[in-house]
Structure 1
């Protein structure tokens, strides 16, 4: 829907447009309103995707463009943002696809619980997604607590196997330190939970932080921004968007890191195809 803004009710989050001498209300969600209401004014040209509630009321799903006409100025263009996203990704020389499995509280636990990393999986690639190095290990938590039944069930892991294969946290820290110094990569995760549990681990084990927030790429967030998704997208569902083969999520850190790698590779191909489409269109 492409239209000129007639008026705005900032309190109720309505944008009014005229259609055949009738006023149509466009309702903005709280999240969309927080982003776009500060830049919207009467007389601006907007291009939006909407869902019809009834004839004179639509819910805005996505803003595609916001244009000030006097003077003419492009305030927002989703295609330009997508091109910027692709340019950023194509500038990266090395990626590390990283995933953690974490400890979980017992079924009877109440109150706060500090999750810790008990397995990591990572794959280092070049910009063409050629694997250069991979590593995966179980890790002891700080106090070497036995795994809870919930953790064992979720990971399909028994205590004996974990005890035999688990390594000290220092292995993860030293591995990441080596990779950082050798490749100067961007660290790609699916969702912010992995970023947070890694930051927590530095404090728990009294280690200097190895990474800054700018070192990470949250591939889930990129998908939500690129496709303008309202809700989170699961790792497996994202994989199935791009690939037809039937897979299940094993909740193994290395398998999930590799799945993130394949999603990123397909996402890059899609962005390249979209760029070619825009060039041919405009």
Structure 2
């Protein structure tokens, strides 16, 4: 393993290669597709980088207009820090040590873990801006595991919304469901009591993908005039943790997260709460394994 410090002189985006001048010699470095996706927004000439790379070099070809040049390049293992300096200030775009401390506390947290996914109603196709619409939970799915990662409980059910206007063609199509599927759906209060029992008994950390599940659940307490049984500190937004760690500004699709670990993206991508809860759990363990092996 080789440690490198230097300022990026030039970037070859198509080839995922950049160059740094080290001891009066130009040295080339190449990125994997997932690394390029993660750091593309920051990689510009003039950026100071601290990185780790493999010592062995491999052959590559870079293009400069019509001219093609054969080079040797080192594979980047990971970035440690990214800084841009100007006359007036220094901006830190990425600092692995700071991020790692926060991520470590999240991924290696003791106790039970719940991976929860909620599906909501959608406004009808005829919905127009300015009209009132409240998104309601119509399906939940979760996996509950112990500290060792063993699943001790998994559960899924449909939930009847308070306002029937939410059960419209758009919602049915999005969830691949029919009106008849909701005949035996649970009431929200039944779901509430079930969730309350599990939280009080196991006191799990609740992992979700994105912040919408948290917001809609909080809104549901108000809608049904029930005392909240969760607070924000009970939840961990796994997508936000990954965005912070990899330095990504845009949201990451749940299934697209597999690409960060060089895993194939599953073909079946139905909007199903239990399936999405399972995928969230899989992403958590892939992320944890990747993080702890570095």
The answer to whether residue 245 in structure 2 is matched with residue 226 in structure 1 is yes
Structure-2 residue corresponding to 1:236: 255
> What stretches of structure 2 of length at least 5 have no aligned partner?
8-40, 50-78, 84-91
TM-aligned CA distance change 1:150 to 1:49, over 3 Å: closer
Shift of 1:87: 3.0
Structure-2 separation of matches of 1:58 and 1:64:
10
Indicate whether 1:261 and 2:273 are aligned. Answer: no
User: How many angstroms apart in 2 are the aligned matches of 1:245 and 1:65?
Assistant: 29
Give TM-score, length-normalised by structure 2: 0.67
**Root-mean-square deviation (CA), in Å?**
2.8
Is residue 131 of structure 1 aligned with residue 124 of structure 2? no
Please name the residue that 1:165 is paired with.
Answer: 184
Structure-to-structure mapping, 1:168-187, within 5 angstroms: 168-187=187-206
Q: Check 1:90–1:105 CA distance in 2 against 1; reply closer, same or farther (3 A cut).
A: same
- Count of aligned residue pairs for this structure pair: 218
As a proportion of its length, which structure holds more helix? 1
Structure 1's unaligned 5+ residue stretches are 4-47, 67-74, 275-282
* Contact 2:114/2:145 (8 A) holds in 1: yes
CA drift of 1:179 comes to 1.1
Q: CA deviation at 1:80?
A: 3.6
Give the stretch that moved more between structures: 94-103 or 171-180: 171-180
Residues 59, 99 of structure 1: CA spacing in aligned structure 2 closer, same or farther, 3 A cutoff? farther
Cα pair distance change 1:108/1:132, threshold 3 Å: same
Distance in 1, Cα, partners of 2:105 & 2:48: 32
SS of match in other structure, 1:132? strand
State the partner residue of 2:140.
120
Question: Aligned equivalents of 1:145 and 1:106: distance in 2?
Answer: 8
Q: TM-score, normalised by structure 1?
A: 0.70
DSSP 3-state at the match of 1:50: coil
Residue 117 of structure 2: aligned partner? 99
Q: Is the 8 A contact 1:50 1:59 kept in 2?
A: no
Shift in Å, 1:248 = 2.0
Query: What is the distance in 2 between the residues matched to 1:105 and 1:171?
Result: 24
